[in-house]
């Protein structure tokens, strides 16, 4: 006498067996989709690869954001602030030079000593400041062109003063005074050299403002960038929990959860440091611009230590956090995958 | 058809990539902007900008106009950085030759209908390497004009001179009556002195004719030669005495050219130069200057040549046909960056329609070298009479000497004017010998003189 047939509980991953003892063929049902037919091991391997990839992506994105923020800050607080200072100083020097040479002509000293030491020193210093400004220029092509143009006008100004001195030495006072007037016009008229320097300073300032308003320093613009890998990791973690529950009646993996926490910590660290650095840089620039009247470009500090998001300590901490998350994520999948290796 | 998951993912990535490429996300979009650098200001700039607005509306191309007082310097700075404007308006043939020789100016062959330009413009457009067109005149002017107030002349009993000796006599007569005959302004940083160069050119042209003028401009006739010396001395006779210039010669050195005749023609009686340099259009009065009543002009008189017809007191001799050559100038546009928007802009600015719009702008005080632009396109009798001088073919046109010289020689010429005015005795000892030391352009100079046909082609 045969024993009764007891239907076996059907797992989504197993084919439905035929009824034992029946003389008919096995019940044919439509084939399950590929993801339902895939073995749990395969799923775990995919999920592990995805998780590790996303940790790597999160780490690289944090590195990218930190680097870009550092670059913007360095450009603005280093070169940009210096360029503004140099142009402003050149402006002051040229104004002083013009006054000095006019005084020299008025008193007649120019006939004995030429335009004078104050004029010569200030014009030379202004020329040097323009050269420095060219190196620190952050206003792009326009800034470079304007600096070159200013240097050309400065050369013409110097030539006119020199010509005036020569004509005065040749006793042509009328022509000398006219040329002094032409030089003064070149400096002070609408569109003259001082106007050009003013415009240049505004351009450099606008470039610095743009750098400090960059999206790399704006929390709203890159939060989604940094959080996207983490959110994807959450999805993969949910998928992992589903596989573990159905295969092993387990829900939470402590190691996987820890990996998520470390990744989130890395993102939070970089984002908060970047925002902090942006604020510090803006404060630095504000202070520099306010104090420029009293500081020469050589005296003014360069803000090389404003950026923390890309500092060696932050990079080391990031490496530890990302590395730790990767190790924990790998270790979270290992026991289950190891089980199936021995079963096979 | 079923495939592996990896193959499906790969196909999806490829589809996204193709879509991105199709939308052009990966590459830079073509620019629809063009920058043009000009040296105009005031009413000249306003007229130009009105023409540009029409171009922008018609073409959809955005034009960035960069006005500057130091065009050559700013252009040189931009060229040194490799970032010049696409187009620039150049007032000097010498500068065109220099830039074309350096390969900075791009040929405009095929872009412009050169048949619309007669001599000397057709030759000047080919200044540079080979037989290419490098620049096209878009704004011309007549320099050989002397301005006066007809009412003052009538009241004072002065006659409009038709010859150089008559002009000299008039000038002395005004001085003898306690007046200052000449309004003279020479300050125009960084090219102060340039109005004086036009004086020398007009005197030499009127005294010796286009042939000698051409030789002088090309460097064949030295600065220390007899004709050139005489031209300077004749100018000295006119403006050199103490009261000949209003305010004195020293004041003339500091009088700004850009402010127009300052003071008006009632304080000084005569002024030399183009219409736009006199600034009548920007003076609003009261009362506003009125052509024919408060200001009028006569062409620069040739030395010893009498115009046909007798000039009555207070009337102009210019209505009588004359054969003397006149000095002209022009701003030429050239292309430094060959881009489609730059070509479109040049094509438009040199079109007869744009030229008509430009010259008809009230207060533009500019003229066209395009022989298809009729005299009737000009607003008002002053511009129409000057346009007739420019286009009728009755007078030979000679391009301004200083603007045809190399930039270095041009600058030296400007300075020599200032030196001569303040030290007339130094002409032969210092001024002219120093000019002789400045090397002339070694390239063959274009022909700067030419005469249009006396029957211009009918307007389109």
- The SS3 assignment for B292 reads coil
Phi, then psi, of B302 in degrees rounded to 5 = -80, 155
- A182 and B74 within 8 Å at the Cβ level: the answer is no
Q: How far away is chain B from the Cα of A102, in angstroms, using its nearest Cα?
A: 16
How far is residue B82's CA from residue A224's CA, in Å, rounded to a whole number? 40
Nearest to A91 by CA among A178, A180, A192, A161: A192
Chain A interface, Cβ < 8 Å to B: 34, 141, 144-145, 148-149, 151-153, 156, 160, 163, 167, 172, 174-175, 177-179, 181-183, 185-186, 189, 191-192
* Euclidean distance between CA atoms B74 and B369, whole angstroms: 27
Total number of domains in chain B? 2
Q: Verify whether the Cβ–Cβ distance A178 to B249 is below 8 Å.
A: no
B442 & B297 share domain: yes
pLDDT at residue B286, rounded to an integer: 64
- Contact (Cβ atoms closer than 8 angstroms) between residue A59 and residue A230: no
Residue B1: predicted pLDDT: 43
Q: What is the mean pLDDT of chain A?
A: 82
What is the percent of chain A with per-residue pLDDT over 90, rounded to a whole number?
35
Residues in A closer than 8 angstroms to B419, CB to CB, are 167, 172, 175
CB contact under 8 A, A148 and B77: yes
Domain membership of residue B16 (yes or no) is: no
Number of separate helices (H) and strands (E) present in chain B? 17, 11
User: Are B125 and B256 within one domain?
Assistant: no
Within this chain, do residues B128 and B201 fall inside the same structural domain, yes or no? Answer: no
The boundaries of the domain holding residue B131 are 33-142+329-399
> Which residue among B5, B70, B254 places its CB closest to the CB of A34?
B5
Asked whether residue B203 is assigned to any structural domain, the reply reads: yes
pLDDT of residue B33: 94
Is B13 inside a domain boundary?
A: no
User: Do B189 and A174 lie within an 8 Å CB cutoff?
Assistant: no
The answer to whether the CB atoms of B81 and A141 lie below 8 A apart is yes
Residue B213: predicted pLDDT: 95
**Are residues B183 and B223 both part of a single domain?**
yes
Nearest CA in chain A to B423: A172
For residue B383, give the nearest of B286, B459, B297, B284 by alpha carbon.
B297
Confidence of residue B6 (pLDDT cuts 50, 70, 90): low
Interface probe with A: pick from B9, B37, B77, B196, most Cβ of A within 10 Å: B77
Residues B81 and B164 in one domain: no
- Closest listed residue to residue A35, CA positions, set B8, B287, B283: B8
Query: Smallest Cβ distance to B189: which of A151, A167, A186?
Result: A186
> Does B249 lie at the interface with A, CB-CB under 8 angstroms?
yes
The dihedral built from the CA positions of residue A111, A113, A119 and A124, taken in this order, carries a sign that is positive
The pLDDT assigned to A298 comes to 63
Q: How confident is the model at residue B337 (pLDDT cuts 50, 70, 90)?
A: very high
Q: Please judge whether A141 and B70 are an interchain contact, meaning their C-beta atoms are less than 8 angstroms apart.
A: no
Phi, psi at B398, each rounded to 5°: -125, 125
Q: Which residue has the higher pLDDT, A40 or B147?
A: B147
Tokens of A132: 């420095």
The whole-number pLDDT of residue A24 equals 56
| Most confident option among A10-24, A209-223, B109-123 | B109-123
Query: B314 is written with which tokens?
Result: 């207070």
CATH number reported for the structural domain that contains residue B213 in this entry: 3.40.190.10
Provide the CA B181 distance to its chain's centre, in angstroms. 26
Write down the pLDDT at residue B131: 81
The answer to whether residue B60 is domain-embedded is yes
B236, pLDDT greater than 70: yes
- Within-domain flag for B429: yes
Using one digit for the tens of pLDDT, what is the confidence trace for B12-54?
A: 444 444 444 444 343 334 579 999 999 998 888 999 999 999 9
Does residue B244 surpass a pLDDT of 80?
A: yes
| Residue B77 sits at the chain A interface (C-beta within 8 Å) | yes
Using alpha carbons, list the distances in angstroms from residue A220 to A216, A274, A325, B235, B239.
10, 12, 26, 73, 73
Give A110-143 pLDDT, tens digit per residue.
Answer: 777 778 888 999 999 999 999 999 999 999 988 9
| Closest CA of chain A from B93, distance in Å | 22
Single residue among B358, B378, B399 that ends a domain in this structure: B399
Q: Are residues B220 and B287 in the same domain?
A: yes
Establish if B5 belongs to a structural domain: no
Closest A-chain CA to B251: A178
Q: What's the confidence (pLDDT) of residue B57? A: 95
Whether B310 shows a pLDDT value over 70: the answer reads no
Q: B83 in contact with A at a CB cutoff of 8 Å?
A: yes
Structural domain includes residue B214: yes
Average pLDDT on B406-410 reads 90
Q: Is residue B79 part of a domain?
A: yes
Do B74 and B55 reside in the same domain of the chain? yes
Least confident of A235-249, A296-310, B207-221: A296-310
Q: Do residues B251 and B394 both lie within one domain?
A: no
Of B190, B253, B419, the CB nearest to A186: B190
Give whole-number Cα distances, B350 to A151, B41, B390, B446, B459, in Å: 34, 20, 17, 21, 15
- Cβ distance A149 to B418 less than 8 Å, yes or no, reads no
Q: Which position has the higher pLDDT, B436 or B18?
A: B436
Does one domain contain both B129 and B154?
A: no
- Put simply, the answer to whether A149 touches B73 (Cβ < 8 Å) is yes
Note whether B372 and B420 are same-domain residues: no
Judgement on whether residues B441 and B310 belong to the same structural domain of the protein = yes
Q: Are residues B179 and B222 in the same domain?
A: yes
Interface-testing mutation among A141, A143, A149, A160, with chain B (most B C-beta atoms within 10 A)? A149
Chain A residue at shortest CA distance from B75:
A149
User: Scanning every residue of chain B, which has its alpha carbon at the shortest distance from the alpha carbon of A145?
Assistant: B78
């Amino acid at each position: 006498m045969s024993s009764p047939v007891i239907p076996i509980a059907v797992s989504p991953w197993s084919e439905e067996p035929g009824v034992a003892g029946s003389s008919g063929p096995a019940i044919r049902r439509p084939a399950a989709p590929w993801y339902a037919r895939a073995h749990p091991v395969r799923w775990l391997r995919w999920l592990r690869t995805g998780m590790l990839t996303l940790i790597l992506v999160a780490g690289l994105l944090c590195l990218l954001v930190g680097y870009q923020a550092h670059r913007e800050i360095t450009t603005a607080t280093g070169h940009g602030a210096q360029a503004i200072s140099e142009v402003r100083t050149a402006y002051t020097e040229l104004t002083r030079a013009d006054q000095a040479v006019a005084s020299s002509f008025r008193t007649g000293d120019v006939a004995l000593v030429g335009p004078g030491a104050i004029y010569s020193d200030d014009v030379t210093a202004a020329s040097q400041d323009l050269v420095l400004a060219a190196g620190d220029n952050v206003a792009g092509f326009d800034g470079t062109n304007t600096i070159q143009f200013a240097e050309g006008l400065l050369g013409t100004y110097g030539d006119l003063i020199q010509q005036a001195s020569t004509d005065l030495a040749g006793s042509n006072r009328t022509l000398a005074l006219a040329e002094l007037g032409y030089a003064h016009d070149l400096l002070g008229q609408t569109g003259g050299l001082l106007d050009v320097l003013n415009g240049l300073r505004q351009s450099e300032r606008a470039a610095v403002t743009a750098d400090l308003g960059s999206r790399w320093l704006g929390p709203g613009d890159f939060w989604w960038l940094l959080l996207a890998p983490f959110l994807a990791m959450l999805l993969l973690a949910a998928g992992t929990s589903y596989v573990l529950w159905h295969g092993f009646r387990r829900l939470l993996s402590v190691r996987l959860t820890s990996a998520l926490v470390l990744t989130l910590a890395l993102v939070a660290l970089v984002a908060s440091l970047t925002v902090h650095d942006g604020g510090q840089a803006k404060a630095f620039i504000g202070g520099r611009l306010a104090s420029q009247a009293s500081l020469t470009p050589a005296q003014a500090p360069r803000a090389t230590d404003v950026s923390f998001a890309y500092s060696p300590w932050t990079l080391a901490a990031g490496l530890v956090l990302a590395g730790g998350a990767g190790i924990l994520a790998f270790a979270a999948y290992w026991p289950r995958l190891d089980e199936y290796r021995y079963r096979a | 058809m079923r495939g592996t998951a990896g193959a499906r993912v790969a196909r999806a990535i490829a589809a996204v990539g193709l879509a991105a490429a199709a939308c052009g996300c990966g590459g830079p979009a073509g620019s629809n902007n063009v920058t043009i650098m000009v040296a105009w200001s005031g009413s000249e700039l306003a007229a130009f900008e009105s023409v540009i607005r029409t171009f922008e509306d018609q073409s959809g191309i955005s034009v960035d106009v960069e006005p500057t007082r130091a065009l050559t310097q700013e252009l040189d700075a931009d060229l040194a950085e490799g970032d010049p404007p696409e187009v620039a308006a150049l007032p000097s043939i010498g500068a065109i030759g220099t830039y074309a020789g350096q390969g900075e100016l791009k040929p405009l062959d095929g872009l412009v209908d050169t048949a619309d330009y007669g001599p000397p413009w057709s030759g000047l457009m080919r200044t540079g390497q080979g037989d290419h067109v490098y620049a096209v005149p878009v704004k011309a002017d007549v320099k050989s004009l002397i301005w006066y107030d007809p009412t003052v002349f009538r009241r004072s009993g002065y006659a409009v001179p038709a010859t150089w000796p008559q002009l000299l006599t008039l000038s002395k007569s005004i001085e003898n009556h306690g007046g200052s005959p000449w309004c003279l302004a020479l300050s125009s940083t960084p090219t102060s002195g340039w109005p004086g160069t036009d004086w020398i050119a007009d005197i030499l042209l009127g005294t010796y004719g286009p042939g000698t003028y051409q030789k002088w401009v090309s460097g064949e006739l030295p600065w220390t030669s007899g004709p050139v010396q005489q031209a300077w001395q004749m100018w000295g006779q006119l403006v050199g005495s103490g009261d000949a210039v209003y305010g004195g010669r020293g004041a003339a050195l500091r009088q700004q050219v850009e402010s127009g005749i300052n003071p008006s023609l009632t304080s000084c009686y005569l002024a030399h130069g183009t219409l736009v340099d006199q600034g009548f259009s920007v003076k609003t009065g009261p009362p506003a200057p009125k052509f024919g009543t408060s200001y009028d002009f006569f062409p620069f008189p040739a030395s010893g040549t009498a115009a046909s017809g007798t000039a009555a007191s207070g009337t102009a001799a210019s209505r009588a046909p004359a054969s003397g050559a006149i000095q002209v100038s022009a701003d030429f546009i050239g292309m430094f960056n060959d881009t489609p928007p730059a070509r479109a802009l040049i094509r438009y600015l040199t079109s007869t329609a744009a030229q008509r719009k430009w010259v008809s702008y009230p207060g533009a005080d500019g003229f066209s070298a395009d022989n298809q632009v009729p005299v009737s396109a000009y607003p008002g009798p002053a511009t129409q009479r000057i346009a007739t001088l420019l286009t009728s073919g009755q007078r030979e046109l000679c391009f301004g000497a200083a603007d045809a010289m190399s930039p270095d020689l041009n600058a030296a010429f400007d300075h020599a004017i200032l030196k001569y005015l303040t030290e007339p005795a130094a002409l032969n000892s210092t001024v002219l010998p120093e000019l002789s030391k400045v090397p002339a352009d070694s390239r063959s100079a274009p022909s700067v003189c030419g005469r249009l046909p006396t029957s211009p082609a009918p307007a389109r």
